[in-house]
Amino acid sequence: MSLSPERDREFDFTTKHFATVRDELYDYAGIVLADHKQDMAYNRLVRLLRDLKLNSFDDYLAFLDQNPAEFTQFINALTTNLTAFYREKHHFDFIRDHIIPEIVNSGERRIRGWSAGCSLGEEPYSLAMTLLDAGVDPLRWDLRLLATDIDSKVLQSAQSGVYAYERVKTLPKSLLSRWFLKGKGKRDGHVKVRSELQDMITFKYLNLMQDWPVQGPLDFIFCRNVMIYFDQDTQARLLQRMAALLKPNGYLFVGHSEALARHASSFQLVGKTIYRKCE
């Protein structure tokens, strides 16, 4: 049975094809594809079929089965990577106004943060700018940010630190001139983040469904707009694992539409979508 027989699709995409795609994605990445995402799945995967010069989804799924390397493209195609610099700015203000003063008062000069599901890198670079703009001196402090994602393509782009000007044009001018270099010639219309920011961040491939080679204890974890794609059991498991990595009173930041109330027994809500690990 075709999913949308009323629509003219270049390739037949049946409920069986969709079920296979959905199961593969869930088993590997924990991402739940609801039934209404069938069109989205088709539109994203059809490009891969064309690139591979295949003639049907049967052929594509068989090819995927026999070519583990192609699985990376499959995952990259199905992740949703929407992000922005200083998305939900109040989270960055909270770091400046609460977390840094708390660490300073404790006498420590060490900060460890993790951007889990960092996408194209705007989130970890915004974290790095927040720390440095707040006066945390990388020469006198031990600063490390880890930025991870399951999508190897966005990770590569994040690591390069190059962005279309469009993506930064609404940032305050002072921030732009302090932290971004304007591209010239071939790079016209682009900016590149300054190396001081890149030096603070380690970008790594990490599937949240697998082992986390992450060294704690962490001061904060940003896992924003990622768990929204997972089911309740997966979310509960991840929250427990994140709590174990945070230091006592460490912070977890989630996305604006992610309510953790039911699973957050290890956390206390201390701000809008900001949680503190209970001691």
Ligand X SMILES: C[S@@+](CC[C@H](N)C(=O)[O-])C[C@H]1O[C@@H](n2cnc3c(N)ncnc32)[C@H](O)[C@@H]1O
Catalytic residues: 44, 149
Bridge partner list, 114: 146, 221
Beta-carbon-side half-sphere exposure of residue 170 (alpha carbons within 13 Å) = 5
Residue 24 touches ligand X, criterion: CB under 6 A: no
Q: C-alpha distances in angstroms, 33 versus 111, 217, 258?
A: 36, 33, 17
30 binds ligand X (CB under 6 A): yes
One of 193, 226, 238, 264 touching ligand X (CB under 6 A): 226
Interface with ligand X includes 150 (CB under 6 A)?
Answer: yes
Q: Is 127 in the site for ligand X (CB under 6 A)?
A: no
Q: How far is the CB of 2 from ligand X (least distance, A)?
A: 29
Q: Does 245 bind ligand X (CB under 6 A)?
A: no
User: Segment contacting ligand X (CB under 6 A): 9-17, 40-48, 147-155, 265-273?
Assistant: 147-155
Residue 128's nearest CA partner among 71, 180, 56 is: 180
Q: Select 79 or 198, whichever has its Cβ closest to ligand X.
A: 79
Buried b (16+ CB within 10 A) or exposed e, 28-56: bbbbebeeebbeebbebbbebbeeeebee
**Cβ-count burial of 173 within 10 angstroms (0-12 exposed, 13-18 middle, 19+ buried)?**
exposed
**219 in contact with ligand X (CB under 6 A):** no
Verify binding: residue 225, ligand X, rule CB under 6 A: yes
| Helix (H) / strand (E) containing 184 | none
Among 217, 215, 240, 244, residue whose Cα is nearest residue 227:
240
Neighbours of 211 (CB within 10 A): 8
Task: Using alpha carbons, list the distances in angstroms from residue 241 to 113, 209, 212, 221, 231.
Answer: 15, 11, 9, 11, 16
**Pick from 209, 237, 247, 249: which binds ligand X (CB under 6 A)?**
209
Check binding of 119 to ligand X (CB under 6 A).
yes
235 is a site residue for ligand X (CB under 6 A): no
Q: 79 with 25: CB under 8 angstroms?
A: no
Residue 188: how many other CB atoms lie within 10 Å? 9
Binding residues for ligand X, rule CB under 6 A, total 25
Question: Least separation, in Å, of the C-beta of 149 and ligand X?
Answer: 5
Q: Does 146 bind ligand X (CB under 6 A)?
A: no
Binding to ligand X by residue 156, rule CB under 6 A?
Answer: no
Name the minimum Å distance from CB 227 to ligand X.
9
Q: Which of 72, 160, 207, 249 binds ligand X (CB under 6 A)?
A: 207
Task: Name the residues that contact ligand X, by CB under 6 A.
Answer: 29-31, 79-83, 87, 117, 119, 123, 149-151, 154, 206-209, 224-226, 229, 255
